[in-house]
Amino acid sequence: MSQSSQTVRPDPGSRSRPPARGRRTSTGVFAGIRVGSIGGVEISLDYSWFIIFFLILGTFAGVVFPAQAPGVDRFGYLLMGFIGAALFFISLLLHELAHAFMAIRRGIGVEGITLFIFGGMARTERDASTPGDEFIIAVVGPLASLALAALFYGIAWAGSAGGAPLAVTVVAEYLGFLNLLLVIFNMLPGFPLDGGRILRAGLWKATGSMRKGTGIATGIGRGLGWGLIGLGLFSLLVGGALIGGLWLVFIGWFLGHAARASYQQVLLQEMLAPLTAGRTMTPNPETVPPDLPLEELVQSYFLQRPFNSFPVTEDGVPLGMVTLGQIKAMPRSEWAGKVTADVMTPMERVVVVDPDTPMIDVIRKMQRAEVRRALVARDWELLGIISNTDLARWIERMTLVEEDRA
């Protein structure tokens, strides 16, 4: 749950009318490759997932299962490793689906789930609005993993009692152990782990402040991250555990980074909470007609004004938006006979918001559509434009106010 971008200056340009929106659902740092959806929740694989999948497959097939089930041939160990790795990641996916489905039940939109090198991440559209929601959404993940641990241990026990092949019981028992380990690790009280989220919910309830709860929980998360880095370096330098030590260092670094980013996100949301699109926008942007030749568009607009984009309108009705980047993407030799309408972004691909839309929602829409600007409009009337520069200017002002208060 986290992301960002940039622009050149308060931009005049871009569209109007409330119905249009962005194009993709899987965006952000861990967007990945979409592989399907379950219950309306999109599932994606980050590119780093392929690295960890084959590392786990190799560890299972080459180290873990040969030690626990001697006498199986090489193909058998490879098959055990593949099944074990696949079921392990299915377990991670079910853990994240528990979070996602509970969030949906609590009225929080879920953009999708991404599996990546350090596990899984359910990307929600916003944080929980109450400590109770935060607690229940956080706790269902470990409960799902605990249920899976019991299931796999039960399969191992029943298989042993019923005379099932050793390969089956070994894989099931090890998956039970891994899911139990997942519960223990996730319940550590450091944000953004599930235990840290549960701690934040309790602190939020006790203090009445999400910001305070997040500050304490993320502080513990950063401390936990440094602890894992220290343990990893000790294992690496003293214990000689190269792979295990490096793995702990990477996990510790990721946890500390995620905790810091999570707190900054909460501060940003708190600062932006009172802002709406109407307050943040640059009003009355200059527009261009759709039949304007490209040469004139460049000479009379882009080279004469300090803007990188313009809304395209006809008789006051917005039709789309044209940017300097679109012009630069077309060779100059092809400009002859071309007009603005030939290169502009049509309205259905433009982010358009009402002036009363909270800025938090505007930012989410811009991130989802992977654009740097949004138009502010009402009833087909273009009122203004919001660029990353407008947003940065407001954040800078509010940060100065916060510093003065402190």
Say if 228 falls within a structural domain: yes
Count CB atoms within 10 A of the CB of residue 390: 23
Q: Determine the number of helices (DSSP H) and then strands (DSSP E) in the chain.
A: 14, 11
Cβ pair 122, 26 in contact under 8 A = no
Q: Which amino acid is at 334?
A: E
User: What's the pLDDT score for residue 298?
Assistant: 93
User: What's the pLDDT score for residue 368?
Assistant: 81
Both 225 and 354 in one domain: the answer is: no
Say if 136 falls within a structural domain: yes
CATH code of the domain in which 362 resides? 3.10.580.10
Compute and round to an integer the Cα radius of gyration of the chain: 26
Q: In 3D, which of 31, 222, 170 has the Cα closest to residue 114? A: 31
Structural domain ending residue among the three candidates 257, 272, 287: 272
Structural domain ending residue among the three candidates 215, 244, 272: 272
pLDDT 10s per residue in the chain (406 long)? 332 222 222 232 333 333 332 223 333 445 578 889 999 999 999 888 898 899 899 999 999 999 999 989 999 999 999 999 999 999 999 999 999 999 999 999 898 999 988 788 888 888 888 999 999 999 999 999 999 999 999 999 999 999 889 999 999 999 999 999 999 999 999 898 999 999 999 999 999 998 899 999 999 999 999 999 999 999 888 877 777 788 889 889 988 998 888 888 888 877 777 889 988 888 888 999 999 999 999 999 999 988 888 999 888 788 889 999 899 888 988 899 899 999 999 988 899 999 999 988 888 888 888 888 888 988 888 888 888 877 887 777 777 665 555 4
Both 357 and 218 in one domain: the answer is: no
Structural domain ending residue among the three candidates 244, 272, 300: 272
Segments forming the whole domain that contains residue 299: 277-405
User: What's the pLDDT score for residue 4?
Assistant: 28
The pTM of the full predicted model, rounded to 2 decimals, is 0.74
Number of domains in the chain: 2
Q: In 3D, which of 88, 89, 83, 103 has the Cα closest to residue 41? A: 103
Say if 6 falls within a structural domain: no
Given strand 282-283, what is the order of strands in its sheet? 282-283, 381-387, 373-378, 352-353
Residue 130 carries which DSSP code? S
Q: Pairing between strand 373-378 and 345-346?
A: unpaired
Catalytic residues: 96
Both 285 and 307 in one domain: the answer is: yes
